[in-house]
């Protein structure tokens, strides 16, 4: 599947960098990433919460990853975004995605209860509540073309593919390229270029939903 690109990939990279800010000053940058990812989902520009930002990131991750053709049952099958464990997004993910499409595919959100269900996803967000079961989950997904995204400490070291981390007042992410490749996924260089290099910072647990960093 080919990735759906915005008018300027450079704008996407700049917007992704801008969206990493979690403080009060970069509101203009946040409005830019909202134009690229969320569009009209909210009536006005405002300071997004942690999980509103993460929802926007999940949408961008889906845009900048290619899945093998066999990951889809039909040419018009949706991209399935699954949430394993407690759902921290509330309605934010649904509002972010809305009626958007990626390469003419709709997006579907599912709350996942088992590993068997997880293998039917294309992108799987693994909640903090699954920390103790993470090794078993990652092992159970081996061989499946599922992009795993998490926020627990050392997620990528455990074999996950994209890990949210906090650097100062910025939400950042690091990528485990080898894990993605072994699952048959191709991550765009534009996404990789704004990721934190592996080992560049110590993992930091992000604040709870609705909490703002100083």
Answer yes or no: is 201 within a domain: no
Answer yes or no: is 4 within a domain: no
Going by C-alpha positions, the residue among 55, 123, 51, 148 that lies closest to residue 93 is 55
Specify the DSSP element, H or E, that contains 172: strand 170-175
Show Cβ contacts of residue 178 under 8 Å, excluding neighbours closer than 6 positions: none
Maximum distance among all alpha carbons in the chain?
A: 47
Question: What pLDDT is stored for residue 15 in this prediction?
Answer: 47
Answer yes or no: is 161 within a domain: yes
**Domain span including residue 101:** 9-192
How far apart, in whole angstroms, are the C-alpha atoms of residue 71 and residue 193?
25
Answer yes or no: is 46 within a domain: yes
Number of domains forming the structure of the chain = 1
Going by C-alpha positions, the residue among 151, 156, 20, 145 that lies closest to residue 84 is 151
Question: What pLDDT is stored for residue 97 in this prediction?
Answer: 92
Specify the CATH number for the domain of residue 93.
3.40.50.2300
pLDDT digits (tens, 9 = 90+) for 57-91: 999 999 999 999 999 999 999 999 999 999 999 99
In the three-class reduction of DSSP (H, G, I as helix; E, B as strand; rest coil), residue 183 is classed as coil
Answer yes or no: is 204 within a domain: no
Answer yes or no: is 119 within a domain: yes
pTM for this entry: 0.76
Answer yes or no: is 71 within a domain: yes
Higher pLDDT, 186 or 213: 186
pLDDT digits (tens, 9 = 90+) for 150-193: 999 999 999 999 999 988 888 999 999 999 999 999 999 999 99
Answer yes or no: is 63 within a domain: yes
Q: What is the DSSP letter of 210?
A: T
């Amino acid at each position: 599947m080919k990735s759906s690109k915005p008018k300027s990939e450079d704008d996407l990279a700049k917007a992704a960098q801008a969206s990493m800010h979690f403080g009060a000053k970069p509101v203009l940058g946040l409005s830019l990433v909202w134009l690229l990812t969320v569009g009209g989902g909210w009536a006005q520009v405002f300071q997004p919460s942690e999980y509103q930002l993460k929802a926007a990131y999940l949408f961008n991750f889906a845009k900048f990853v290619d899945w093998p053709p066999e990951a889809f049952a039909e040419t018009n099958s949706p991209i399935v975004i699954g949430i394993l464990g407690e759902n921290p997004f509330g309605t934010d993910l649904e509002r972010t995605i809305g009626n958007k499409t990626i390469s003419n595919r709709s997006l579907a959100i599912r709350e996942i209860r088992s590993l068997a269900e997880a293998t039917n996803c294309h992108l799987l967000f693994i909640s903090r509540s699954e920390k103790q079961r993470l090794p078993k989950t990652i092992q159970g997904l081996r061989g499946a073309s599922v992009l795993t995204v998490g926020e627990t400490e050392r997620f990528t070291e455990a074999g996950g593919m994209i890990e949210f981390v906090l650097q100062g007042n910025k939400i950042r992410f690091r990528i485990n390229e080898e894990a993605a490749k072994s699952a048959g996924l191709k991550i765009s260089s534009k996404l990789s270029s704004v990721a934190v290099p592996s080992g560049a910072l110590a993992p930091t647990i992000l604040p709870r939903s609705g909490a703002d960093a100083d």
